[in-house]
């Protein structure tokens, strides 16, 4: 049965969002994501969990915008936008339930520290559904387990220097990724459209030195292989 966003938010036997993330990883990419999860497992849920008090000096929530925000953690929930302020970017990614494939790719390529780049970073993170629409399970497993150089290049298509809000990206009119690709940026209420490829679906998460924008398509020029899944059934 096809999983939906709401499936990622169903409580499980381990504590909190990390158990939900683990189940989503297994559903999204098969063997590779399951293996990456097995390295950390439910022990990650014992780490200090971000909470409603982990904010920047006052109790003002961080405003995120987009149609997907309504089904993601909010308010005092662990993983809410306000709770991620001050978290390193790689840590913040683990608390956004729909970014488990992107976060697994960061770990597989060893790029976690690079997300805390001096001068800040804009992270355009595709949802799990975006990865499923782009890659077959076998293709994604291959990238995660064997072809991490190609995967690193793909991640750089989703990173840009400077921690810029969606409004700042729109005002600039374009963004150049760390891979050297320049994308036109236009307004797409309530967020931004990146070229003709993607739109923000929950923009403006704030991590330490970074802005994280959840987007609905995978960027870059790797071939689409999701259709190959159908050819094997």
Write down the pLDDT at residue 136.
97
Sign of CA dihedral 157, 160, 166, 171: negative
Q: What is the mean pLDDT of residues 24-40?
A: 49
> How large is the angle between the packed helices 100-109 and 31-40, nearest 10 degrees?
70
Is residue 2's pLDDT more than 70?
no
Three-state SS for 143?
helix
Is residue 125's pLDDT more than 50?
yes
In percent, the amount of the chain with pLDDT more than 70 equals: 72
Q: What is the mean pLDDT of residues 52-81?
A: 77
- List, in sequence order, the alpha helices (H) in the chain: 17-29, 31-40, 81-84, 89-94, 100-109, 128-134, 137-145, 148-156, 166-172, 227-231
Q: What is the mean pLDDT of residues 1-13?
A: 36
Q: How far apart are CA 66 and CA 187, in angstroms?
A: 12
Is residue 48's pLDDT more than 50?
no
For the question of whether the overall pTM of this predicted structure is more than 0.85, the answer is no
Specify the range with the lowest mean pLDDT, choosing from 8-17, 35-44, 88-97, 126-135.
Answer: 8-17
Is residue 209's pLDDT more than 60?
yes
Q: Which fold has domain 5-231?
A: FAS1 domain (2.30.180)
Q: Which of 96, 120, 95 is nearest to 210 (CA)?
A: 120
pLDDT band at 34 (very low <50, low <70, confident <90, very high): low
């Amino acid at each position: 049965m096809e999983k939906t966003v709401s499936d990622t938010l169903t409580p499980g036997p381990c504590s909190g969002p990390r158990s939900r993330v683990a189940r989503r990883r297994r559903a999204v990419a098969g063997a590779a994501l399951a293996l990456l999860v097995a390295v950390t497992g439910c022990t990650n849920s014992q780490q200090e969990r971000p909470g409603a008090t982990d904010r920047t000096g006052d109790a003002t929530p961080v405003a995120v915008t987009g149609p997907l925000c309504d089904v993601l953690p909010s308010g005092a929930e662990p993983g809410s936008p306000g709770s991620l302020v001050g978290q390193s970017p790689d840590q913040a990614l683990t608390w956004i339930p729909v970014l488990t494939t992107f976060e697994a790719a960061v770990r597989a390529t060893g790029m976690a520290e690079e997300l805390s780049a001096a001068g800040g970073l804009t992270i355009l993170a595709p949802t799990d559904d975006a990865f499923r629409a782009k890659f077959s399970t076998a293709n994604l497993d291959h990238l995660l387990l064997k072809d991490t150089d190609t995967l690193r290049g793909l991640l750089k298509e989703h990173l840009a220097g400077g921690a810029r809000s969606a409004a700042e990206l729109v005002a600039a009119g374009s963004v150049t990724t760390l891979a050297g690709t320049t994308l036109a940026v236009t307004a797409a209420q309530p967020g931004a459209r990146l070229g003709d490829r993607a739109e923000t679906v929950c923009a403006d998460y704030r991590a330490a030195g970074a802005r994280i924008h959840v987007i609905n398509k995978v960027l870059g020029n790797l071939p689409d292989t999701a259709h190959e899944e159908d050819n094997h059934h």
